[in-house]
Structure 1
Amino acid sequence: MALIEEADRRSKAMTVEAVRKLKATDVRQEVPIRDGLYLVIQPSGVKSWVYRGRVRGETKKITLGRFPEVDLVRAKERANDARKDAHAGVIYRPPIPAPVTEAAPEAPEGRSVSEVWKQYRTLRLEVDCRPTTIAEHARIFAAHIEPALGSRDIGTITKADLLPITDAALTRGLEARNKTVAVMTGFFGWAHEKRDLIAKSPVLGIEQINASKRKDRKPKRALTDAEIVEFWRSCGAIDADKLSSVPFGKMFQLLLLTGARRNEVAGLSRTEIEGNVWTLPAVRAKNGIELKIHLTRTALDVLKTIPRIKDCPYVFGPSGENCGFGFSKAKKRLDAELTKIKAPWKLHDLRRTFRTGLGRLGISEEIAERCINHPPGGLVRTYDQHKYEAEMAAAWRKWEKHVLTLSR
């Protein structure tokens, strides 16, 4: 009863002026107002409103807008609307704010979002990506990101600045939102990891919506042990027929052994391999974080059997990840060999099979997640600076032993 009375007292005492006087600290604050409405105060001083409630049995956090653009009265109105939608099983979407006409403070030279994007396009996209990818990323940035953030100092951009952009993208469709998040992830990850322009990526915590949950998509799954045996044998068969200049069978085997993503393996350069360690550079990683992958004896044996192409740095051909144009044809050839695998599956399921297998073998979640380049976030990542390379190498070796045992 005392807690309810305190919350009621706080709500009545909270005024626009009281909100304005609340000070930022060196940690993120959440000030409860009432009935699921909270005021979030970032260390940067940015204040925003959120509603926390349960939608279809799951706790959701819904951003309602920033203060002072959304004042206390409007925040309570939006929280009330969010509460009604939650009871109806719907996630509330706040109105998209109108474009801000007031000129933003001028960013220092070379630090505006637009200027950093130009560097990103020249030094990252044009070096590592196909022309179609470059054009698509440039289109999304010019149409949806630059108008809102282009003149801002990149160091001042927060997650709260990005949410209105992703919310607007969602109104154009799920794919549009996911593409926008992907562009943001690559850009801000590069600015953090490769240029040290920002302390951390503001995209952290903004995740892509998993399209596979839709009814028209195939379900996620991991291969069973019996299917792994069949898969491994069939990979050798599709390379033996010599129908492709790219040894896709060996590429697929490396997907299973390493847990890496498809394009990460397809774009593998020999310069990234030193001894038995493959260093996946941050610019090629989906999350913009470098990963050191331990290559087991079997993985090294697979690599040794791939013939070198003169003056070509790539393992799988002169075009690097462009060899991905043949993925679908190679997958169909592989499926034709897989007489025992009847259920539909995707190449990404090999990564899921690897991660699931580590869990079955008793590898801790912390190490297993690091092996697929999912390092911890928040305070754990800030304070735990240990690289866990020895523990991760042991996990890859344990998985290799399991796969080899199955094939015997």
Structure 2
Amino acid sequence: MKRKLTTKFIEGQKPNPSKRLDFRDELMSGLVLRISTSGTKTFCLHKRINGKMRRLTIGHFPVVSLAEARERVRQVLYEIETGRFEDRTGVEVETRPTLGDVIPDYIEKHAKVHNRDWKRKEALLAKFTTLHGQRIDEIKRADVVKACDVIHKSAPVSANRALAHLKHLMGWCVERGMIEANPISGMKPLSKEKPRERVLTDNELGALWAVCGDEGYPFGDCMKLLMLSGQRRAEVAEMRWSELDLEKRLWTLPSQRAKNGRQHTVPITDAMMDVLRRVPRFLGSDYVFTTTGKSPVSGFGRLKDRLDRSLPEGTEPWIIHDLRRTMSTNMAMLGVPQPVTEALLNHKTGVVSGVAAIYNVYSYADEKREALCKWNECIEEITKTKNDPQPVGCGDARSLGRV
């Protein structure tokens, strides 16, 4: 928390028995007042020295006054800037990083290298706000349990995911010698998760398609392509023109962008082509869905809120990922073999794996195209206007598929 520190303010601050408090001074850069759970008030300097973020203890209040702390910080900052800072300055240096120091390092050195969805990991680790100021070697299992309980109250599933990411971060710290052992190794999730079973009905799909039409480019068109292709949200949202072969009607998703790290090909149907033809192309940009030309679209949480407000009252709760399950379920009703559906969804449990997968990038190409065309025809029937003299429901199309 950042504010202008005053002696009156410091004297009036009471300790929080559940967590330490940090107040950053607005007048002196780097000066932090830390109030422990027991009430000890300590002046510190937070500063990057020789490439590492350090916390330097200045002294305890009121033995060291606010004015003296600011002057001492000014002296140390001068010594650092002029290259004359040494340990013999008399200022105690805490070399052990806090969790707040470790998270950016972990994201940069590990998550960005190994996890395509590293931003989600970063956001979940940010939920451990009560632990960010605690030294990484002082974090105990009980501390994590208490922090997870706070997250669990408002977001049970997020608490499980956040815990999983924190476990991995702690293991990474062990490997790098920051701590001797992982304090939360073997810690179980706070709640048991039920696998989602939500499948959108024909009426819900039709309503969603109409709402996406009103939404327009880029989000509405992106959502339509999600419905038609059955691919993952990030894979469609980050689609590049260079991945599309419009002449051969093929979208090749590179292994770097696929969730399972395996190159994937998706047939481009007539319905998908209709969407792509309407998409404006930004000069010098490779992104299909973008507002700036420099980055793909983002902010799907706000989009989901808009869609929910526009959908008919009484629509059951749903998430964007449910569209993949909806396609998979309908394909089974259309008589599409499960291996073909798995290949279309690019699941690891699909037709090929291991070495065979390397030589079967285009496995089931014809079958995938035929299956996706069936599904797109089904959506077309669902989304026909009420003015159609003889509307055919998707149920009828599925019956024809089974026959």
**What is the TM-score of this pair, normalised by structure 1?**
0.47
**What is the TM-score of this pair, normalised by structure 2?**
0.48
> Whose helix fraction is larger, Structure 1's or Structure 2's?
1
Which structure is larger by alpha-carbon Rg, 1 or 2?
A: 2
